[in-house]
Amino acid sequence: MITTSLSYISSLLMICSLIVLISSRSKSKIFEYFPAIVIIYFTIVVLSMLGFWDASSMQIKQTKSQLEDLILPIMLFLMLIRCDIRMVIKLGRKLLIAFFGASLSIIIAFTIMYLTVGKHISPDAWKGFSALSASWMGGTGNMVAVKQALGTPDNQMGYILLTDSISYTIWFAFLFVLISRANIFDKWTKAGCIEEHIKKVNIEDPYNIKGDINFVGIFVLVAVAFTATDIANILSSYLPATQLISAKTWTILLVTLFGFVGAMTPLARIRSDSIIASIFLYFLVALIASGSTFEGFSEAPIYIVCGLMVLTIHAIIMVIIAKVFKLNLAMCSIASLANIGGIAGAPILASAYCRSLVSIAVVMSLLGFLIGTQGGLIVAKILSGFAI
């Protein structure tokens, strides 16, 4: 049994790296349905339950808590450094309506789902659903940020990650099936030709940065990320705390703001391909998993049903928005997946429609990173008001 902090950290990193290595080389279908980050979570939960490390050790508990509080804001800053608001403005009216319409529909869908089913699961189920909503308006990083801000129980993260993975897989496949119906849908909404709209939008892929990944650039990014986190921590202690917004929440919001500002500086032109942020994200999920168990996991099916219910309501609202604002199916589908699937899925769907849409999908996904945490906290504010 592992009882020291160093062994605890090194074991988590080794498990993460092995699973990532296997997933990158394996041809198994399992990694198409369950990404490495989900497998990391459940592998570490199993090891935790088997007593691989001493969960009752005060040294390990303190290490886990301190690392979570440190790594999360650093990861958020690094993820947001590509989201330049000037690129977002270039998307134009229709694409912005499609994106924010998708975000708003997700907030509404979670509210309806919680009022009808979710609130009857458990008194603190709203925390888990709020974290999931952050993922479906941004990404896994936003989910973890809201989880930490709300103090969502570690055990709930198992339900949420499983629901996220299964629901996303179904939704991703469904949106691809709809591609063949694009012409029929566009005629019904009276939308113009998507190619004509693309010509009006001149956006370059924000990840297509010239030059190699270099030591100096990454060193600078890491240093700035740590400094931004330190400043956010100091400022958060002076800001008013409420039942929903703690000092930790203020830190997350301030770092989001710093990342947003940093994206408009030369920092955004440093090529890192989000490698550091991704490493921090995987390690953060591993830390959370190390404090979880499968106790009460029988509730997982109802969480999955709730997730699919949210997507159904989201789809209905998106159809209404498309009809009212005369939006193309491609716009709506990419906006939806930019919210729900993020950078991993939206560009793939966009390329299936038209290669010129890929850069638009990337910018939409980055916009999701920017608003995902705030969106999740808005959902938390709404759902907590209806909690039993």
The answer to whether position 7 is within a domain reads no
Instruction: Give residue 312's pLDDT.
Output: 96
The answer to whether position 349 is within a domain reads yes
> In 3-state terms, what secondary structure has residue 12?
helix
Note whether 132 and 340 are within 8 A (CB): no
Q: For residue 229, what are its two tokens?
A: 């986190």
Residue with tokens 């049903």: 305
Residue 210 DSSP one-character state: S
Note whether 329 and 357 are within 8 A (CB): no
Q: For residue 349, what are its two tokens?
A: 């769907």
For residue 48, pLDDT over 70 is answered with yes
Closest listed residue to residue 80, CA positions, set 282, 283, 343, 310: 343
Closest listed residue to residue 304, CA positions, set 129, 173, 91: 129
Number of domains in the chain: 1
Q: Please tell me the least confidently modeled range out of 24-28, 106-110, 222-226.
A: 24-28
Which residues lie below 8 Å from residue 4, measured CB to CB, with a gap of 6+?
Answer: 59, 60
For residue 183, pLDDT over 70 is answered with yes
The answer to whether position 19 is within a domain reads no
Q: What is the distance between the alpha carbons of residues 26 and 42, in angstroms, rounded to a whole number? A: 18
- The rounded mean pLDDT for the chain is 84
Per-residue pLDDT averaged across 363-374, rounded?
Answer: 86
Instruction: Give residue 14's pLDDT.
Output: 95
The answer to whether position 13 is within a domain reads no
CA distances from 59 to 44, 123, 329 (A): 19, 31, 53
Note whether 110 and 385 are within 8 A (CB): no
Instruction: Give residue 198's pLDDT.
Output: 64
Residue with tokens 């189920």: 125
Q: What is the distance between the alpha carbons of residues 157 and 108, in angstroms, rounded to a whole number? A: 22
Q: For residue 121, what are its two tokens?
A: 């699961």
Residue 121, φ and ψ in degrees, nearest 5? -75, -55
The answer to whether position 212 is within a domain reads yes
Q: What is the distance between the alpha carbons of residues 142 and 133, in angstroms, rounded to a whole number? A: 9
The answer to whether position 2 is within a domain reads no
Instruction: Give residue 346's pLDDT.
Output: 85
339-361 pLDDT, tens digit each:
998 877 788 788 788 777 777 88
70-102 pLDDT, tens digit each:
888 898 888 878 776 677 777 778 889 999 999
For residue 49, pLDDT over 60 is answered with yes
The answer to whether position 152 is within a domain reads yes
Containing structural domain, residue 125: 37-53+67-386
Instruction: Give residue 188's pLDDT.
Output: 93
Q: What is the distance between the alpha carbons of residues 339 and 196, in angstroms, rounded to a whole number? A: 24
The answer to whether position 30 is within a domain reads no
For residue 104, pLDDT over 70 is answered with yes
- Higher per-residue pLDDT: 131 or 365: 131
231-280 pLDDT, tens digit each:
999 998 888 877 667 788 788 888 888 988 888 888 877 876 578 888 88
Q: What is the distance between the alpha carbons of residues 124 and 96, in angstroms, rounded to a whole number? A: 33
Per-residue pLDDT averaged across 327-343, rounded?
Answer: 90
